[in-house]
């Protein structure tokens, strides 16, 4: 799945390089960087017919980096077909991003297992997200270079695929430290952006945005012949800033 995403991205970039810019630009390639954090998560754990819940597990903040390829439906710019005028407010984007997804070392309360009130855990993770975003925008401060408006607030929403890896290590009070191994899963997510883009030049823009993602991955492990399933619920929030080249 990662290879397919890379092929699509490389094809889009090659097309952008080969086709010259026309008038003001409405297809763009953007790089961005920012921070990601998550709401406390209840993590369901099941093994050998028993189940438990780790209450309010805390997610470590991390740095997010990404690349976005987008297009607005206008008559100007690359692929400028004769769209109806109202379609200039709409567009779509392919969004690729990566960040760590660690649960910080913590002691969490356990419910559902007699005799065990808490557990100590260390959980290392990573997440690669491929988002398919449908966008809407409005323009302010129009001029001769950017007729739509230099200042462009926008919203975006769409499905995403989150490819995540999770490596848990656990310990009960007075017991040994137990690494469970590593599992990688691909899950569907909901992703939304609210942002503000400023066209600093005809073909260069600056962007700041807030992002929300929701997904429920499930990780499976085989520990000493026992099947262990860990099911967190992620509410992930990101703030990022980026710069884009328009074609």
* CATH code assigned to 2-246: 2.40.160.20
Q: Give which of 116, 226, 127, 132 is closest to 174, Cα–Cα.
A: 116
Q: DSSP for the chain, please give it.
A: -HHHHHHHHHHHHHHHHHSPP-SS--EEEEEEEEEEEE--EEEEEEETTEEEEEEEEPBPPEEEEEEEEEEE--SSSTT-----GGGGGEEEEEEEEEEE-PEEEEEEEEESSTT--EEEEEEEEEEEEEEEEEEEE--BS--SS-TT-SEEEEEEEEEEEEEEEEEEEEE-TTS--EE---EEEEEEEEEEEEEEEEEEETTEEEEEEEEEEEE---EEEEETTEEEEEE--EEEEEEEEEEEEE-
- Cα separation values, 187 from 38, 53, 159, 170, Å: 17, 21, 10, 24
Report the range of poorest mean pLDDT among 157-161, 210-214, 216-220. 216-220
- Cα separation values, 44 from 53, 55, 103, 174, 220, Å: 5, 9, 14, 22, 12
Report the range of poorest mean pLDDT among 97-106, 112-121, 140-149. 112-121
Report the range of poorest mean pLDDT among 17-26, 159-168, 212-221. 17-26
Pairwise CA distance, residues 45 & 100, whole Å:
21
Tens digits of residue pLDDT in 148-192: 899 999 999 999 999 999 988 877 777 778 788 889 999 999 999
pLDDT band at 50 (very low <50, low <70, confident <90, very high): confident
- Cα separation values, 183 from 65, 134, 148, 186, 220, Å: 23, 31, 47, 10, 7
Pairwise CA distance, residues 60 & 5, whole Å:
27
Once rounded to an integer, what is the mean pLDDT over residues 13-26? 45
Pairwise CA distance, residues 87 & 180, whole Å:
51
Domains of the chain by residue range: 2-246
Once rounded to an integer, what is the mean pLDDT over residues 101-124? 74
**So what's the pLDDT on residue 247?**
83
Once rounded to an integer, what is the mean pLDDT over residues 65-91? 82
**So what's the pLDDT on residue 115?**
66
Confidence (pTM): 0.81
């Amino acid at each position: 799945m990662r290879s397919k995403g890379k092929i699509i991205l490389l094809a889009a970039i090659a097309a952008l390089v080969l086709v010259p810019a026309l008038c003001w630009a409405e297809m763009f390639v953007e790089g961005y960087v920012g921070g990601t954090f998550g709401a406390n998560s209840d993590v369901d754990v099941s093994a050998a017919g028993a189940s438990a819940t780790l209450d309010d597990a805390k997610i470590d903040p991390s740095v997010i980096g990404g690349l976005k390829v987008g297009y607005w439906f206008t008559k100007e710019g690359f692929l400028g077909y004769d769209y109806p005028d109202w379609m200039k407010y709409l567009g779509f984007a392919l969004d690729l991003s990566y960040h760590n997804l660690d649960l910080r070392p913590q002691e969490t309360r356990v419910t559902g297992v007699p005799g065990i009130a808490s557990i100590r855990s260390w959980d290392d993770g990573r997440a690669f997200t491929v988002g398919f975003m449908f966008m809407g925008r409005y323009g302010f401060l129009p001029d001769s270079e950017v007729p739509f408006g230099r200042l462009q607030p926008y919203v975006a929403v769409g499905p995403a695929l989150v490819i995540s890896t999770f490596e848990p290590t656990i310990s009960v009070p007075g017991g040994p430290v137990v690494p469970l191994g590593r599992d990688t899963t691909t899950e569907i997510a909901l992703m939304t952006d609210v942002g503000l883009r400023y066209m600093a030049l005809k073909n260069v823009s600056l962007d700041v945005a807030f992002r929300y993602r929701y997904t429920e991955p499930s990780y499976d492990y085989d520990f000493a012949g026992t099947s262990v399933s860990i099911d967190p619920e992620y509410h992930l929030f990101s703030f990022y800033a980026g710069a884009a080249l328009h074609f």
